[in-house]
Amino acid sequence: MNYEWLVTTFIAGAGFAVGLWRYDETRWRQLLVDLQGDKNAAAAVAVRVRAGRFPQWRSKRRRELFDALCVAAVFQRSGRSRALIYGALENAGRRGQFENADTYRSEIRETVDRITMIVGQGSAYTDLTRGRRLLLDLRAALHLDPDVRLRVDRFELNARAADGGWPPDVRLCHPVFAWVEIEGLVNRLGGLILVGPAEGQCPVLALDYHVVARKLGGKPPERPTLTSVGAGVRKAKYTDPDDRGRNRVRLVEQLATIVDTHPLYRGAFAVAAVPGRRHDFSTKLGNDLARRTGKPFITLNARADSSQHEPRFVVDTSSVQGKMVIVVDDVYRTGRTLQAAVTALRHAGATDVLGLTATCTTSAAVSPCGHHRDDAPAEVLSG
């Protein structure tokens, strides 16, 4: 028996197998790289996975493919390419390329929750091995965390063009399987105004400016033209009772949309309102919003020494201790009254306070949500 021939054949076979494995591994690595920027390669991989041609892949490769497809999906500008990739991921789950359906669903949930990228000015986090720690979570930007202020500025929440366009060098990449939902959320928030009070005070979201001239950056004329939201506020306060009720319902629905969709506002425990003087419209608006969103309504009462220039409020500590509260107002002017309400709530033990108003008459500016300076006078009632 020719053992030398057998040994030679074995060595040649082993060398061929190693070479084939290395060639296959090289092609695989290159494919993962291509997936990040080449939509044609991404679409081709998606089609192959949909055809079930890779059921023999090791678990590690299935993991790598899933990560690569997720990253490729959020980079695709083409809706068709995204659809192919989404289909590939779904078929991978149905064909058993993950351990079981529950594992697949948990992977999808994890992707939706964590993989989000904000791409601007040529920079992005794309490292697959550190992706889950580095890719920015959209919620962080929407929370107006100071660490992502530059990225929030690139969103142009503070200075969107009059026609509502985004700057040309900015693109928002959405998490996999949540394109429509996240896009709708960003569009809704992009149409809002983030009023920037003094540094360190809480953020205030406004549905719109009160008058059109201020909205376009000019000075209000003697007889200003109200925005649609501004007109709604006016009708809800000064028309006949039937019209007042209908317009207040519309305003409440618009405000409730923000509370329902914004992650930070949605997590608030209760709703409070800035006490009014004549019609007390803010209290009615806040009460209706609390009822509409299923949150408790917190009553703020003016102190005896409160004045228009130095408002002071009292709050029952037992109702807000350790809670996040939304403060509602109809029109944000100087912000003095709303911030006095914020101070009273914080002194009463509220962990955080968010402002929400129908319109604003001040210039809008993005201000990161910092810690409120508890230096304004306030009084609390123990309860």
Spell out the domain ranges in the chain.
3-114, 192-381
pLDDT 10s digits, 163-202: 333 333 333 333 332 333 334 444 444 556 666 544 456 6
- What is the dotted CATH code of the domain comprising 192-381? 3.40.50.2020
pLDDT recorded at residue 165: 38
Range with lowest mean pLDDT among 18-27, 43-52, 220-229: 43-52
- Percentage, residues of the chain above pLDDT 90: 5
Collapsing DSSP to helix, strand or coil, 204 comes out as: strand
Paired tokens of 101: 């359906």
Place of tokens 């408790």: 296
Contact indicator for 210, 223 with CB cutoff of 8 Å: no
Query: Measured between alpha carbons, how far is residue 9 from residues 1, 15, 18, 65 in Å?
Result: 14, 10, 14, 35
Tell me the pTM. 0.49
pLDDT tens-digit series, residues 57-74: 455 566 566 656 655 554
Residue-level pLDDT at 219: 58
The C-alpha angle 286, 187, 290, rounded to 5 degrees, equals: 15
- Name the residue with higher pLDDT: 33 or 244: 244
- Going by pLDDT thresholds of 50, 70 and 90, the confidence category of residue 244 is confident
Give residue 66's identity as a one-letter amino acid code: F
Give pLDDT, residue 136.
Answer: 31
- Band (271; pLDDT cuts 50, 70, 90): very high
Taking only the tens place, the pLDDT of each residue in 320-367 is 888 888 999 888 887 778 888 888 888 888 888 888 899 887 544 333
pLDDT at 277 over 70: no
Residue 174: strand, helix, or coil = coil
More confident residue, 75 or 123: 75
Residue 295's pLDDT is what? Answer: 92
Q: What is the pLDDT of residue 37?
A: 56
For residues 120 and 154, is the Cβ–Cβ distance under 8 A? yes
Per-residue confidence (pLDDT) for residue 66, from 0 to 100: 60
Q: Which two tokens stand for residue 137?
A: 């979570």
Q: What is the pLDDT confidence band of residue 84, given thresholds at 50, 70 and 90? A: low
Residue 246, pLDDT above cutoff 80:
yes
pLDDT tens-digit readout, 113-143: 433 333 322 223 333 322 222 233 333 333 3
